[in-house]
Structure 1
Amino acid sequence: MNTVDRDALERELALLLEPARVQDYCPNGLQVEGKSQIRRIVTGVTASAALIDLAVARGADAILVHHGLMWKGDPQVLKGFRKARMEAVLRAGLNVFAYHLPLDKHPELGNNIQLGAMLGWPTDRVVGDKGLVHIGALAQAQPLGSLADGVSKVLGRPVQLEGVTDPQRMISTVAWCTGGAPGYVEEAALAGADLYLTGELSEPAVHVARECGLTLAGAGHHATERCGVQALGRWVAARFGVEVEFHDLFVAV
């Protein structure tokens, strides 16, 4: 099995995802420097202690995630669970690569375009202040109940519906943004969507959906953001010939 130089991988991922072009809530790219040569990469949604321990057990040289170790507003001290995570990473010499919004919005490998493909929803245009909300007209209008059942089957979890919830309501235009993006419900309504799907819901967003006559669907933050890192992992494996393993440490939210 091949190996890839850590710095070469970081450069190639920067060229692919262009993190410098995105204003984000975290550092994107190589968050923790580990071994210089990488043979096996473990990917997952979040750099949790469980994923780090699994990567160590699998003999990985790097982890590649959507939600990394560091966020703006975090305490500038290492203690508690943050210290434990970092200790495990440094002890094993793991590289930690994390890509948040750059992975959400990538036009081929991103969470949003990948989720649309999984659901069979076309992207006709992208809106929102960060260019994250995808909108498309379905090939054929579907009753809300059937559409929600289909989403649940694809993602493996129930979908929570708010706003307009009549199961017989016909849905022609859908909008979506993975993860925690309930605040884009108004943009979706103004853009003409009948339904807006995201990972997490919020109390204000439910009221906006009701008042705009929109169906708001919550499909799970984790469930909607598994696809991007899997696609990115496949790209890395094909590009460099290294071992890449996705591990779904599923959580229900």
Structure 2
Amino acid sequence: MNHLKLEAVLNELLSPHLIKDYCPNGLQVEGKSEVKKVITGVTASQALIDRAIEAQTDAILVHHGYFWKGEPSEIRGMKFRRIKALIEHGINLYAYHLPLDVHPQLGNNAKLAELLEIEVLGGLEAGNPQSVSVYGQFEQSLTGEELASRLAIALHREPLHIPGGPTEIKTVGWCTGGGQDFIELAAQQGLDAFISGEISERTVHSARELGIHYYSAGHHATERYGVKALGEWLVQEYDLEVSFIDIDNPV
């Protein structure tokens, strides 16, 4: 497939034009014109690039790419080494941030719901069809410890649980990655628990004072499954050779 055609396919699926983001979505670094072999991963780290070079891939597709708002614009140091390696080996870099969080079937939030067996009921941000935080419910109520155990089994990582809510958890909100500050919105809507990837010092006090359970389940751990599902979709729809590489990250 032509590399620009691949970008068009991904843009049509993920609709990045509908979402205000912190980085450019789509083709971030241009490489060879023909794409047959794709590596997917969470972040376009040097380790992922090295694995892609070793596999002689044509493109890398990630959730966390480059050129974030507020970062230095100079291409030097770590940024230079990464981009230099991509250009020297003709590897295209495609990145989709918030569009990959919110996609209703392939997104990080949707895939986390599947893993945890949560029925998705809607977005936490009222009136926003592209809400990056969502809410739902379990078929049967869980204790705080049972939800922690379910997270650990699903994500292969022990979550940090701040027990601030009721004895039984039926309703839950979540936002993969760094969405801890949506806890207040979740509490305002009367949810029993909120799950995200990260935790800040203030989040502990918020959970206790707002009367809601909080689970910090890992930024990387909660965002592995959207880009993996996106790669599997490309295999099914376009018969590309796609491999997911999970670069270990304990955060």
Please classify the TM superposition score into its range, dividing by the shorter chain length.
over 0.9
1:143 aligns to 2:140 (yes or no): no
Report whether the alignment pairs 1:21 with 2:22. no
CA-based RMSD of the aligned residues comes to: 1.2
Question: 4+ runs of 1 displaced by more than 6 Å?
Answer: none
2:107, 2:226 within 8 Å by CA — same for their partners in 1? yes
- Residue aligning to 1:132: 132
Q: Does 1:121 align with 2:135?
A: no
CA contact (8 A) 2:164 2:210 kept: no
Distance apart, 1:42 and its partner CA: 0.3
CA distance, structure 1, for counterparts of residue 204 and residue 153 of structure 2 = 23
Separation in structure 2 between the aligned mates of residue 246 and residue 172 of structure 1, nearest angstrom? 33
Confirm or deny: 8 A CA contact 1:133 1:188 kept in the other structure. Answer: no
- What secondary structure, in the 3-state scheme, does the structure 1 residue paired with 2:118 have? coil
Give the corresponding residue for 1:103: 100
**Secondary structure in 2 aligned to 1:66?**
strand
1:146-185 to 2 correspondences below 5 Å: 146-164=146-164, 169-185=167-183
The letter for the 1-side match of 2:70 is G
Distance in 2, matches of 1:55 and 1:183, equals 35
Distance 1:153 1:67 in 2: 25
Match of 1:82 among 79, 82, 88: 79
In the other structure, the counterpart of 1:62 is 59
Gaps of 5+ in 1: none
Shift of 1:76: 1.4
Alignment of 1:199 with 2:200, yes or no, is: no
Q: Give a deviation string over 1:102-155, Cα, whole Å, max 9, x none.
A: 000011110001110011111011113660222112111111111111110110
One-letter identity of the residue aligned with 1:209: A
Residue of structure 2 aligned with 1:48, choices 42, 45, 50: 45
Is there any run of 5+ residues in structure 2 with no aligned partner, and where? none
Q: Give the Cα–Cα distance (whole angstroms) in 1 for the partners of residues 223 and 158 of structure 2.
A: 15
Map of 1:229 onto structure 2: 227
**2:240 corresponds to:** 242
How far apart, CA to CA, are the structure 2 residues paired with 1:241 and 1:67? 24
2:235 and 2:202 map into 1 onto residues whose CA distance is: 42
TM value normalised by structure 1: 0.95
**8 Å Cα contact 2:164/2:209 also seen in 1:** no
> Partner of 2:69 in structure 1?
72
Q: Offset at 1:237?
A: 1.2
* 1:165 shift after superposition: 7.2
Amino acid at match of 1:55: A
Q: Aligned pair count?
A: 248
Q: What percent of counterpart residues are identical? A: 44
CA separation in 1, counterparts of 2:241 and 2:163? 44
